[in-house]
Structure 1
Amino acid sequence: MTEKKTIAIIGAGIVGVSTAVWLQRDGHNVILIDKAGPAEGTSHGNGGVLASCSIVPVTVPGLLGKAPKMLLSPSQPLFLKWRYLPKLLPWLWKYLRHTNAADVERIAAALSSIVGDSLNDHKALAAGTGAEKWLVPSDYLFLYRDRAHFEEDTFGWDIRRRNGFQWDELEGHAFHEYDPVYSQGIGFAARLSDHGHITDPGRYVKDLAAHVEANGGRFIRANIEDVVRENGHVTGVRAGGETIACDAAVVTAGIWSGPLARRLGVSVPLESERGYHLELVEPSAMPRSPVMVVSGKFVATPMDGRIRLAGIVEFGGLDAPPSRAPFELMRKNARAAFPGVTWKEEVEWMGHRPAPADSIPVIGDVPGIKGAYMGFGHHHIGLTGGPKTGRLLAQMIAGRTPNVDMSVYAPSRYAK
């Protein structure tokens, strides 16, 4: 590093806090600014899996034919608040244009560079911070009814193989010997090693943020109004009616990044994928590893004193209250997946995943404004890709060249 800078990071979820940690290690002064607090949004409620293999976007070929049936069935994990549809349509049109094999391959390659080594990225991030205790190396399994059900997903598994992922297959007795908690109706698993999970995502990110503060970083709870520029250079951020001086600013506010990005000349087609979780507190048995139950498209993750079920995609914007049907579906799916498990109470949560229409995060410098950067739009893999995103941003701010082709994530692709 040649120059010590003061950097304002707007948004204190996993991406923002990761950026702060890596910048601080480079010797910079950091200011974390968030309207609520560290990990009060999606970073609190995510599924907790370091899902390196989750590089296949939702927009696979065939989605157009399946989506209407899914929306009309209460047993499918796709929901829509129909009143929101007119507002959703412009984004949805752009999103659905990517439901072809060539775009899926391109998106998967881009995501793989951000999430493909997540466990090691998290180990490097958390080392010496006090947050290490929440990080658990583990397998990650995709559960199917049988081999025929697994083979219906050949397209996605072939993409994972081409991006370097390997797995083994557990069938029938072998799977139930691995983990007897599951129903006999689940008879096949694809098991990926070298993954991991966080046993309390919210506290993990809070501990990382506390480490930043303990090492001289500042945290300010405020709504950001704008990034202040003079002669094309960032000079501060305006928050809570005052201007906070800084040499650079990084927008890492998840779904709430959109309006601020537009002020900086970057118009990202960004929508909220409303995500739900249901926690089963003090369960009578715990899954051995995090799993994706493919029939219900939900993740079950063993956490600190509870099982967290997460998944569901609902489109309904930022303002509508949570729907009841997604919670009921997860509850039903949980009872079907592990019928012998009981629990003492439940905790429900709904949050907002930031979804750009091309399924590729926005990471990098803002064209035409020196000292302005962005890191948001990770859909459902923000926890998985947060540490790598933060490290890449820190490298760019320091003037170093990352060993990743950053052009595919560049904010310039959405410049006005």
Structure 2
Amino acid sequence: MSESKTIAIIGAGIVGVSAAVWLQRDGHDVVLIDKEGPGEGTSHGNGGVLASCSIVPVTVPGLLKKAPKMLLSPSQPLFLKWGYLPKLVPWLMRYLRHANASDVDRIASALTPIIGDSLNDHKALAEGTIAERWIVPSDYLFLYENRAHFEGDAFGWEIRRKHGFHWEELEGKAFQAYDPVFSEDIGFAAKLADHGHITDPGRYVKDLAAHVEANGGKIMRANVEDVVRENGQVAGVRAGGETIACDTAIVTAGVWSGPLAKRLGVSVPLESERGYHIELVEPSAMPRSPVMVAAGKFVATPMDGRIRLAGIVEFGGLDAAPSRAPFDLMRKNARAAFPGVTWKEEVEWMGHRPAPADSIPIIGDVPGIKGAYMGFGHHHVGLTGGPKTGRLLAQMIAGRTPNTDMSVYAPSRFTT
């Protein structure tokens, strides 16, 4: 590496903290700036699965036909705050335009290099830090009522097969033998090996940030208002009423990246896809591995002293309070999926997934501004893709050529 830089990273979720770890290993000075502190937002509340196989976007063919029925049914995992609809429409029109086979294939091809080897990406990121303790290699299972139910998802499974994913099919008693915690109404499972999960995502990100700080990095709790430029080059960031001098700035603030990106000339069509979780504290039994329950479109992940149920899609913007119906639906679905399990208490959470209209993350340098970079917009797979995204950004900042075609993620696709 030719020179050591001072790098301001705006947003201390999994992407920002991953970038900080890799940049420090390259010998740079890093400043992590976040309005809430490390690991407090979506990086705290996600499903915890290192879901390498989750390369199939929501926008599959037929979505347009199904969505209205889903919105009107209280038993479907799609919700909308109807008062938000006028604001949502421009983004929604662009989003739904991608609900076709060729775009799904293109999106899956873009996601695979970012998330396709997540367990190893996390192991490499956390190596030698106390955060290693939270990484658990595991299977990841998709659960269905029966084989016909599974075959209804054939389109998505064919995309996974095309990108090198393999699975074992467990039917009836074979699945019950694998994990008897689940209802006998679940008669089919697709089991993918070589996945993993994080048993406390919030603590994991905090431990990685603590490692950055212990190695000389600075952590600031402040709201970043702008990136300061001089002669087309980043000179600092304005945060909490002061200017922090830096050579390079990276916007990794998840769904809150939009306004800052716009100031840098990149207008990303970005929405909050509100996600919910319920934690079942001190359960009487744990699932053996994380699972996606296809009927309810929710993930159940064994964590440290609790099961986390996560999922649901709700559109309603950044400001509205959580809705009750998503929590109620997840609770009902959980009782149906593992009817024999009891628990001592529940913890509820709602957060914001950063959803770009084309379902492809924004990763790379900002056109026309030397030293400005972006890394956000990972939809449902931020935890899964965070370490690889951080490593790719570090490579680009060092002037090394990543072994991934970065053009598909380039911020330039949204320049104003």
TM over 0.5: yes
What is the TM-score when the length of structure 1 is the normalising length?
Answer: 1.00
Give distance in 1, aligned partners of 2:282 and 2:242: 46
Helix, strand or coil: the match of 2:370?
A: coil
1:338-357 deviation per Cα after TM superposition (whole angstroms, max 9, x unaligned): 00000000000000000000
User: What is the aligned partner in structure 2 of residue 243 from structure 1?
Assistant: 243
Query: 1:228: how far off?
Result: 0.3
1:247-297 deviation per Cα after TM superposition (whole angstroms, max 9, x unaligned): 000000000000000000000000000000000000000000000000000
**% same residue:** 85
Query: 1:324: how far off?
Result: 0.1
Give distance in 1, aligned partners of 2:336 and 2:86: 36
Give distance in 1, aligned partners of 2:385 and 2:105: 18
User: What is the aligned partner in structure 2 of residue 144 from structure 1?
Assistant: 144
User: What is the aligned partner in structure 1 of residue 78 from structure 2?
Assistant: 78
User: What is the aligned partner in structure 2 of residue 99 from structure 1?
Assistant: 99
1:63-84 deviation per Cα after TM superposition (whole angstroms, max 9, x unaligned): 0000000000000000000000
Give distance in 2, aligned partners of 1:215 and 1:20: 11
User: What is the aligned partner in structure 1 of residue 346 from structure 2?
Assistant: 346
User: What is the aligned partner in structure 2 of residue 200 from structure 1?
Assistant: 200
Give distance in 1, aligned partners of 2:88 and 2:228: 31
User: What is the aligned partner in structure 2 of residue 287 from structure 1?
Assistant: 287
User: What is the aligned partner in structure 1 of residue 111 from structure 2?
Assistant: 111
Query: 1:129: how far off?
Result: 1.1
User: What is the aligned partner in structure 1 of residue 317 from structure 2?
Assistant: 317
Give distance in 2, aligned partners of 1:358 and 1:61: 14
User: What is the aligned partner in structure 2 of residue 304 from structure 1?
Assistant: 304
1:146-186 deviation per Cα after TM superposition (whole angstroms, max 9, x unaligned): 00000000000000000010001000000000000000100
User: What is the aligned partner in structure 1 of residue 259 from structure 2?
Assistant: 259
Give distance in 2, aligned partners of 1:84 and 1:197: 34
Give distance in 2, aligned partners of 1:314 and 1:260: 24
Give distance in 2, aligned partners of 1:41 and 1:413: 27
Aligned amino acid, residue 128 of structure 2: G
Give distance in 2, aligned partners of 1:398 and 1:246: 15
User: What is the aligned partner in structure 2 of residue 2 from structure 1?
Assistant: 2
Helix, strand or coil: the match of 1:313?
A: strand
User: What is the aligned partner in structure 1 of residue 49 from structure 2?
Assistant: 49
Helix, strand or coil: the match of 1:59?
A: coil
User: What is the aligned partner in structure 2 of residue 221 from structure 1?
Assistant: 221
User: What is the aligned partner in structure 2 of residue 367 from structure 1?
Assistant: 367
Give distance in 2, aligned partners of 1:348 and 1:378: 23
Helix, strand or coil: the match of 1:317?
A: coil
Give distance in 2, aligned partners of 1:408 and 1:320: 33
User: What is the aligned partner in structure 2 of residue 59 from structure 1?
Assistant: 59
Give distance in 2, aligned partners of 1:223 and 1:396: 26
User: What is the aligned partner in structure 1 of residue 15 from structure 2?
Assistant: 15
Give distance in 1, aligned partners of 2:224 and 2:140: 38
Aligned amino acid, residue 162 of structure 1: K
1:319-378 deviation per Cα after TM superposition (whole angstroms, max 9, x unaligned): 000000000000000000000000000000000000000000000000000000000000
Helix, strand or coil: the match of 2:266?
A: coil
Aligned amino acid, residue 101 of structure 1: A
Q: Spell out structure 1 runs of 4+ moving beyond 4 A.
A: none
Helix, strand or coil: the match of 2:130?
A: coil
Helix, strand or coil: the match of 1:131?
A: helix
Aligned amino acid, residue 103 of structure 1: D
User: What is the aligned partner in structure 2 of residue 163 from structure 1?
Assistant: 163
Give distance in 1, aligned partners of 2:334 and 2:221: 37
In structure 1, stretches of 5+ residues that fail to align are: none
Give distance in 2, aligned partners of 1:36 and 1:353: 16
Helix, strand or coil: the match of 2:123?
A: helix
What is the TM-score when the length of structure 2 is the normalising length?
Answer: 1.00
Helix, strand or coil: the match of 1:265?
A: coil
Give distance in 2, aligned partners of 1:397 and 1:266: 19
Give distance in 2, aligned partners of 1:304 and 1:139: 17
Give distance in 1, aligned partners of 2:208 and 2:389: 15
Give distance in 1, aligned partners of 2:285 and 2:240: 47
Give distance in 1, aligned partners of 2:142 and 2:101: 22
Aligned amino acid, residue 120 of structure 1: N
